[in-house]
Structure 1
């Protein structure tokens, strides 16, 4: 029964993630934390695999269709930074896990970090019309920004989340749908390098294969439906959905913080 619930969570999260460009992991990770059925290491790994499956479909579909909105000039150095950041973020996660006496401490750190990021993202999203965006073109700066995003994505096990969109809005003056497309590219790269790092370091946690299959299936199916809706839904509706999602995440993260810190 719990595996079916995880499938539903991954499917719904991936639909919203593909529409809003947040990857789905930012929903999957805290919801699975709230259930408390698995330890944080397994949850982070499974969440990352699910996000990777969804973002892989979305990225490949965009490239094959020839309708990709990604900006190659900034996107290539961004994803290069995200690749390195994904590996570093996974190393940081493993270090925190190994030095913590209780895995609940790791979950608490992740929840607190995610809460700070989510609240900051909500404030920026509400006020972004009053904030003057920048137009960064330097490849070096793109790599640094991608590095930071990749580290955060991999360490938190969320696949990028809302912070990607805020960064793309502010530093590159991207419109909503262009930011969504580029965010999914960053998520794809950071997650695949994070997964490779986990395999190379031999730190794959224990989990039931059935759970992985159902979660990844939910991620792919959600990605298919989410990409379809992303093409149909108006930008105004996407922005409203994004704000609603952030408010929901703040409430879930607050619950998880209290649970881990007990």
Structure 2
């Protein structure tokens, strides 16, 4: 029964996540925490796999739809995300080891809410972009995005789109595609870090038979919706997702405290 629930959650979350560029982990992670069927470490792993698979499917879909990527931007941001993702996963593992799963979850909830508020304020008030260029800024952006993606276990989230728009002046529909590409590398780094450190033995990998197909479906639906929705509609989807996830995280944070 848990697998079926996970399947439905992932399809819905990844569909919306592919459209908004947030990557479904921003919904998958807190909802799975709320369900409480698995540990915080397992949930982070399942979320990473779901978003990783979705990012592959969604990126292929965008390229087939004719989106022209600036590969130099993708290269440097993704390299940074790969580095940041490894660091973020190691930091999260350290937090769990030092403080325990309960406090680690609380840290994730608080930091997730902070990044959500940043993204909401940026898209609400249209802050002036810096229009930065050059490999250093692309690399720094990627490191920041990859670090928070792995640390929070949300596979990217709202900070991706908002930071890309803020630093480089990218329009929201373009930023969502670059965000998904970045998410691919940040989650790849998370999965590789697990593979070469603790391994996968401690995870119930039977759940992947539900998670991977659901991620594929979500990626296909999301890339199709992204093609037909206007930039204004994408902003609405983005902001509604933020509000929803803030409420879920606030509830989960209260549950941890009491």
Where on the TM-score scale, by shorter chain, does this alignment land: which range?
A: over 0.9
Counterpart of 1:234 (choices 211, 214, 230) is 230
Cα displacement (A) at 1:68: 3.0
- Name the structure 2 match of 1:78: 77
CA contact (8 A) 2:50 2:211 kept: yes
1:30-179 equivalences in 2 (<5 Å): 30-63=30-63, 65=64, 67-100=66-99, 102-128=100-126, 131-179=127-175
CA contact (8 A) 2:21 2:175 kept: yes
Counterpart of 1:190 (choices 186, 198, 203) is 186
Cα displacement (A) at 1:53: 0.5
Cα displacement (A) at 1:215: 1.5
Q: For 1:70 and 1:159, locate their aligned partners in 2 and report how far apart those are by CA, in whole Å.
A: 21
Q: Which deviations, in whole Å up to 9, do the C-alpha atoms of 1:157-210 show, x marking residues without a partner? A: 111100000011111111111101100010001101111011100253634333
CA contact (8 A) 2:25 2:51 kept: yes
TM-score, scaled to structure 1: 0.94
Q: Which deviations, in whole Å up to 9, do the C-alpha atoms of 1:69-99 show, x marking residues without a partner? A: 4322322111111111111111111111111
SS in 1 for 2:177: helix
In structure 2, the gaps of 5 or more residues are none
Q: For 1:69 and 1:112, locate their aligned partners in 2 and report how far apart those are by CA, in whole Å.
A: 36
Q: Which deviations, in whole Å up to 9, do the C-alpha atoms of 1:120-173 show, x marking residues without a partner? A: 211111111xx2112111211211111011010011111110000001111111
SS in 2 for 1:109: helix
Cα displacement (A) at 1:29: 0.1
CA contact (8 A) 1:74 1:142 kept: yes
CA contact (8 A) 1:165 1:183 kept: yes
Q: For 2:120 and 2:62, locate their aligned partners in 1 and report how far apart those are by CA, in whole Å.
A: 28
In structure 1, the gaps of 5 or more residues are none
CA contact (8 A) 2:61 2:220 kept: no
Cα displacement (A) at 1:225: 0.8
CA contact (8 A) 2:61 2:224 kept: no
- Name the structure 2 match of 1:245: 241
Q: Which deviations, in whole Å up to 9, do the C-alpha atoms of 1:102-129 show, x marking residues without a partner? A: 311111110111011111211111111x
CA contact (8 A) 2:65 2:227 kept: no
* Cα RMSD for the two superposed structures: 1.4
Cα displacement (A) at 1:66: 7.1
Q: Which moves more between the two structures, 251-260 or 210-219? A: 210-219
TM-score, scaled to structure 2: 0.96
SS in 1 for 2:200: coil
